[in-house]
A and B are shown apart, each in its own frame.
Chain A
Amino acid sequence: MTDKIIHILLLIVMPPLLLGVINKTKAWFAGRNGPPVLQSYYDIIKLLRKGMVISTTTTWIFIAGPVVTLAAVLLAGMLIPIGSFNSPIAFAGDLILFAYLFGLARFFTTAAAMDTGSPFEGMGSAREVTFACLSEPAMFFAFLVLAKLSGSLTLTHMLHGPAEGFSSAMAAPLILVSIGLFVVLLAETCRIPVDDPNTHLELTMIHEVMVLDHSGPLLGIILYSAAMKMFILGTVLLHIILPFQTRTMWINWPMFIIELLGLAIVIGIVESIMARLRMRHIPGLLIAALLFCGFGFILLVRYNQ
């Protein structure tokens, strides 16, 4: 029971911290002091206390967009196990629900963007769903590999790996899958090689474009659910790249937090040393991620009998 409460608390409280750590890492690389690590919390609280301006052309979908997104992402967060602990909700086949909760969130974000009637936001929506077409199959291939390795269709068991833990015989497909999932993580959370969260240049925006008309609490909710999405996908990735656990259960919580912050630092480093890809090269990157996950699956089927 305590584990479930800690799981939910972490899921709710920790996400904005990741953004703070990423920004701090980027600032450190640029030789700046950077905003405080807790800046994202202040931003979100500030936004939640502000008023909203809602365009008269919009309908209820405009408000439903961010709310449904937050609900879907929160539910997805309940499905994944954190560290060595089981997830609060688990049933056979929940990986499909997990993938399509992200799909639902994306659908409502794009629908809300197009609800404003701005062609600019429609463009952003088109880009978002185009890239999602490529990142979703990559995620499914990754899940296929994990399902085959663990012989289970429940996310909790899949991510914890087989009963005896991941052996080095599985290293080859897992390396491929973790590379693919890392690219998916960067694409889904709009980080630099794919999308720049700071840019406001019309030609290159993807995610930022879609939320231009949202203000006040709605924008706060969008920022918060984006951070939570990063938390969730980061947790999934950590299960694959660092499947180590200690015997003492309570140590696993701080260990998980340190691992996740380490991942945030890695993302910050990637953002600092890489340039943003040109828009027409992004499908290439995502197809590469898809190929990696697909090859992981082929290798597994072919060589790990």
Chain B
Amino acid sequence: MTDLLNAVLVIILVMNLFALGTSRINAVIRTVAIQGILLGIIPLLIHKHLTIPVAIMIIVAVVIKGTVIPTIMIRALRDAQIKREVEPLIGFLPSIILGAMATAFALLIAGQLPLASQHYGTLLVPTSIATVFVGFILLVTRYKAISQVIGYLVLENGIFIFSMLLVEAMPLIVEMGVMLDLFVGIFVTCIIINHINQAFSSMDTRHLVSLKE
């Protein structure tokens, strides 16, 4: 099972770099959605037996991350009628290289961490650290509010992967709470995005530094 798990985690790492390197916002949203669906599948690969709480968690994670959140974001994008391109603070190639450096760093540092022995063979820890870093890079280097929401989502995906280490011990209610927070967070941000757009006729967060009556 760990082998298959590692394969899925590697695909998630590839998607991180893809999210850093594409210029179309729609494509990035879709990538993150597919990443969310893959994340939903991971508990299936870790658990030996499928219990009802786990099944509920998988279904909720796949539905919320795979369909609900992308739909909200694409709708917000459509309503705001902005240019469909990501505007990065630094170029796409430097972003990819930064992401790759973060991934390499995560792979190196994960080997040094004092982990439980059953977690040494898997890529769970490096993938989660790398995904968190990539989320940070996406958050910091993009101007548009919606791209920053995507960065936040990737960041959350990284934390979700980390929580997979504790999947045996973590109660369902905690996962559900996280999922609800995430959903509400994205929902509210997309509404705020529309308001930013109406007030400034652009989604560029740089305008937010100047005060307005």
Contacts and interface: CB of A to CB of B under 8 A. Distances in A.
A292 interface: yes
B130 to A, nearest CB: 10
B108 to A, nearest CB: 9
Nearest to B2: A169
B14 A303 contact: no
A6 interface: no
A179 B14 contact: yes
Interface stretch (B46-54, B58-66, B90-98): B90-98
Contacts of A281: 92-93
Contacts of B7: 168, 171-172, 175
B103 A171 contact: no
Contact of B111 (A171, A175, A283, A302): A302
B3 A175 contact: no
B3 A167 contact: yes
B10 A176 contact: yes
A288 B104 CA distance: 14
A25 to B, nearest CB: 22
Contacts of B71: none
Interface residues of A, number: 21
A298 B130 CA distance: 15
The range of chain B's interface size is 20 to 34
B56 interface: no
A284 interface: yes
Contact of A175 (B14, B21, B104, B121): B14
A291 interface: yes
B93 A171 contact: no
Contacts of A173: 10
B182 interface: no
B163 interface: no
B96 A171 contact: no
Contacts of A175: 7, 10-11, 14
Interface in A220-273: none
A303 B123 contact: yes
A187 to B, nearest CB: 16
B96 A295 contact: no
B4 interface: yes
B186 to A, nearest CB: 28
A291 B123 contact: no
B6 interface: yes
A165 to B, nearest CB: 14
A305 B103 CA distance: 20
A281 B123 CA distance: 31
B4 to A, nearest CB: 6
Contacts of A288: 17, 21, 96
Contacts of B107: 298-299, 302
Contact of A291 (B10, B11, B92, B100): B100
Interface of B: 3-4, 6-7, 9-11, 13-14, 17, 21, 92-93, 96-97, 100, 103-104, 107, 111, 121, 123
Interface of A: 167-169, 171-173, 175-176, 179, 281, 283-284, 287-288, 291-292, 295, 298-299, 302-303
Given A168-B7, A172-B123, A302-B107, 4 more contacts: A171-B10, A176-B10, A288-B21, A303-B121
List of 10 A-B pairs having minimum Cβ-Cβ separation, nearest first: A171-B7, A168-B3, A284-B93, A172-B6, A172-B10, A169-B3, A291-B100, A175-B10, A172-B7, A288-B96
